[in-house]
Amino acid sequence: MAHEDDFLAGMTALLPRLRRFAHGLARNSADADDLCQATVERALLSRQQWQEGTRLDSWMYRIMRNIFIDQTRSTARRGRTFVDPDEGLTVGRDGAQEATVELSMVDRAMAALPDEQREAVLLVMVEGYKYAEAAEIIGCPVGTLTSRLLRGREALMARLGEAT
């Protein structure tokens, strides 16, 4: 029972970080919330697969990443028939606040990155994981993560340089 309480407490403490990672992957708030909820649900259902003494955060990030990949593949198969739901997010904003504009530019620059680069940037630069930890979460060699991160940083800097 105490181990279950530790698991739930650890998962609860991870929620802000999971939401941030989900938002970076999904690129919009509604999908990010759905992704986060699906991750928590799958973690709870698969609780017995987590090995005590291992990193809960890495395990949950891996679950989220796998769900995101599955959803992306499913969406690609279905095709698009309607206008992107994000189209309505900018309607009615006054845009006068510099912080909002800058964050919006960063969000757009991040969204333009290929998935592999965005994952690497999110895990290392936003979440603060070490290269080896991020590579383990993604499931790739450290060298591959390093090159994805380098390309992602360069692309971000180029895009943000163009925006100013």
Identify the CATH number of the domain in which residue 124 sits. 1.10.10.10
Burial 93-128 (b: 16+ CB within 10 A, else e): eeeeeeeeeeeeeeeebbeebeebbbbbbbbbeebe
Residue 93 in domain: no
Residue 128 in domain: yes
Domain's final residue, options 79, 113, 142: 79
Q: End-to-end distance of the chain based on CA atoms, in angstroms?
A: 55
Residue 85 in domain: no
Residue 31's H or E segment, with its range, is: helix 29-45
Identify the CATH number of the domain in which residue 50 sits. 1.10.1740.10
Whether the model pTM is above 0.75: no
Per the structure, the complete domain to which residue 65 belongs is given by: 1-79
Same domain assignment for residues 9 and 69? yes
What is the per-residue pLDDT across 5-20, written as a single tens digit (0 to 9) for each? 788 999 999 999 999 9
Same domain assignment for residues 20 and 49? yes
Same domain assignment for residues 21 and 73? yes
Same domain assignment for residues 44 and 110? no
Domain's final residue, options 46, 79, 112: 79
One digit per residue, the tens of pLDDT, for the chain of length 164 reads 557 778 899 999 999 999 999 999 998 899 999 999 999 999 999 999 988 888 999 999 999 999 999 888 877 766 554 556 565 555 555 555 565 666 678 788 888 899 999 999 999 988 889 999 999 999 999 999 999 999 999 998 898 887 55
Residue 54 in domain: yes
Q: How far apart are CA 1 and CA 7, in angstroms?
A: 10
- Total domains present in the chain: 2
Residue 157 in domain: yes
What is the per-residue pLDDT across 146-164, written as a single tens digit (0 to 9) for each? 999 999 999 988 988 875 5
Same domain assignment for residues 127 and 61? no
Residue 160 in domain: yes
Residue 91 in domain: no
Residue 6 in domain: yes
